[in-house]
Structure formats: structure tokens, C-alpha cells
Amino acid sequence: MASYTYPVARPSGALTTEQIHLLLRNPLLIAKRVSTLVDQRFISDFLLSGRYTAEGGGIFYETGEEIFPTDGSQSVAPGGEYPKTIINDGGMASAKTDKRGLETDITDERIKRGALGAVDRALNQIVNGVIRDVDGIAMSVIASKVTDTFASSAWTSIDNVVKALAAAKAEREDLALGLGLDLDTVALSGAQWAKVMGLFASAGVLPREDGNPIVNGQFPTNLLGYTWVTSPHIVGSNPMLVDRVQLGGMADEDLGSPDYTRSGDFNVETYSQRNKTDSYTVRARRVVVPVVLEPHAGLHITGTTL
């Protein structure tokens, strides 16, 4: 008698043409496939780490709210009353969500001749297009809101880099004491990242083997007490130093469409439909707006010559 194992194991190896068609007909499998394939995550989600829910096409939020009360604490005698303080709200602002999306057709011929690779390339391209555009909008919002600068000497040595970051961090935290800021993340363009990692490598301060970001290619990287991150969508000639916790967040809107599927925390929604033209239409979208809550939670470091 034949024996069976439950649950049934997922097919391994190359998928057959029939299995690929079944995958394209299943929205949940498409969503999971996208979340597995895409390793180029949103830099906007990383720098704007807060997660908010937009309703009715937008979001209202407070900005500039201090984290400390107006009054200080006082000594309280046994059985005595506690002093009362007034909490000041920040200014009210609003932002409107934007739906960014792309779609493409995958023909039966492409499936038969290109197998699963053809499907993966199509999904990767449309999702990467959404990521590029959402990140571009978010980085423009950050650039328009975060206008403070810190003048540094040229980053030609590790000493100069460390001194500049420490001085910028201390100056900002002293000036914005009531905000409780902790600027600990450095965001750089790809070219700037390469130059800084070259300095680290020459100075011998990079960890060995698996911990070396140049070897393992993992981002972000923790070095010298700072988190270093790069992305193709970071533009500009000046590195940014930010407090990701207080800078802001991304406000996603759920349109409630039953035709779209989202997998886990991956905020891109996907859609798949079989057409009469011997093809499938696959689509990706994200309905979101970037929100900068505290502009002083970041600054641009000038004069690095990177």
C-alpha cells in the first residue's frame, strides 16, 4: 500500500508549464512570489520607519510635538498630590495618498519558452518600478522637509568621518534637547557608500568574513555606532544623518479591493488575471503617502567631497 505524507510537500526543482499556469491563477501565490523575489526593499520604509493607516484618501497628523512635558517632575510627600503639567500638541498637517502602479502581460509563449524565469522577470520589473517611484517621491519629501545642514571637513579619512558625525549628532541633540533626538543613521548614495566603505576597508575597521558588508553585501550595516544604508534611490551630493524613529513614517491606505492580494508586511499589492488573448495580466500597486513628522530629526552633511 502506498504511503502518503501530510501536508503535501511543496514542489521542488523547476516548475512545469502547468504548475506555472496554476501559480498565475492564484493571487495569494503571486503575492508570496513577489515578496520572496524582491530583495530591493523600499528605502523610504527604512528611513521613515513609522507605520500609519490612511483613511479616505489621506491622513491628518501632528508635527513638531515635543516628547518632554513643559514642567519638570517634583518631589511628592507621602499622601501628597502630584503636580500637573500641560501637554502641548504639535501643529496639525495633512497629506494625500497616491496610488502608484504598473501592469504587464505574460503570454503563453513566454511561459512555455521562458519557464518560471519569464514570470519572475515580469514581476520583478513592475514591482521594482513601483519601488523606484515611491522611493523617489519619499526622498523628495524628505529633502524638502529636512533642510538643516552641518558643515564638515572632507571625508578623506576615518578620523574626519567620525569627528563630523559625532559633532553633527551632538550639535543637533543639544539644539533640540526637548525633542529627545538620537541621530544614528547615515544614508548615502551608491557612489558615496562605495567611497566610505573604501575608507573603512583601508583603515582595517571592517569586521572579517561574514560580518564584512563588502563581502556579504548586506544592508544596512552597523559601524562605529551608526547604521549605514544606501539605495539607488538616494540622490544628492550630501550624506544625511537622521533619527529614523522620530523622522516620520509611511501611511498606507487599504482600498479593500478583493482582487488584490498582499503578502505579510510587504506593502505592494498584486493582481493577476487570465485574458482571452492567451496571456495573463499581472499588476502591482501601492497606495501610500510619506509623512515627515519631525524635520529636525535629520540633517545634510555638507563639505564631505564624496
Amino acid in the structure at residue 32: K
Mean pLDDT for the stretch of residues 182-210: 82
pLDDT over threshold 50, residue 257: yes
Give pLDDT, residue 178.
58
List the grid coordinates of 278.
492567451
- In 3D space, the residue among 159, 238, 167, 174 whose CA is nearest the CA of residue 205 turns out to be 159
Examine residue 220 and say whether the peptide bond preceding it is cis (omega within 30 degrees of 0).
Answer: yes
The CATH number of 17-63+93-302 is: 3.90.1690
Tell me the range of 6-10, 52-56, 265-269 where mean pLDDT is highest: 52-56
Evaluated on CA atoms 223, 226, 227, 233, the torsion sign reads: negative
Phi, psi dihedral angles at 202 (to 5 degrees): -65, -35
What residues contact residue 133 under an 8 Å CB cut-off, 6+ apart? 100
Please name which of 138, 146, 141 lies closest in space to residue 172, comparing C-alpha atoms. 146
Do 158 and 205 contact (CB within 8 A), yes or no? yes
Q: How far apart are CA 290 and CA 251, in angstroms?
A: 6
- Structure confidence by residue, pLDDT tens digits, 142-194: 999 999 999 999 999 989 999 999 999 888 877 766 567 889 999 999 899 88
> Rounded to whole angstroms, what are the CA distances from 1 to 4, 47, 60, 223?
10, 58, 65, 60
Task: Please give the average per-residue pLDDT across 14-27, as a whole number.
Answer: 82
Retrieve residue 64's grid coordinates: 513638531
What average pLDDT does range 206-229 have in this prediction?
A: 68
Residues in the chain: 306
Q: Please report the sign of the dihedral spanned by the C-alpha atoms of residue 164, residue 169, residue 172, residue 174.
A: negative
Domain spans in the chain, listed from the N-terminal domain onward? 17-63+93-302
Residue 29, all three cell numbers = 501565490
Do residues 136 and 42 lie in contact, with contact meaning Cβ atoms separated by under 8 Å? Answer: no
Greatest mean pLDDT range, 60-64, 88-92, 93-97, 272-276: 272-276
Pairing between β-strand 248-252 and β-strand 226-230 as defined by DSSP bridges: unpaired
> How far apart are the C-alpha atoms of 242 and 42, rounded to whole Å?
17
Side chain identity at 210, as an amino acid letter?
Answer: D
Task: State what percent of residues in the chain have pLDDT above 70.
Answer: 82
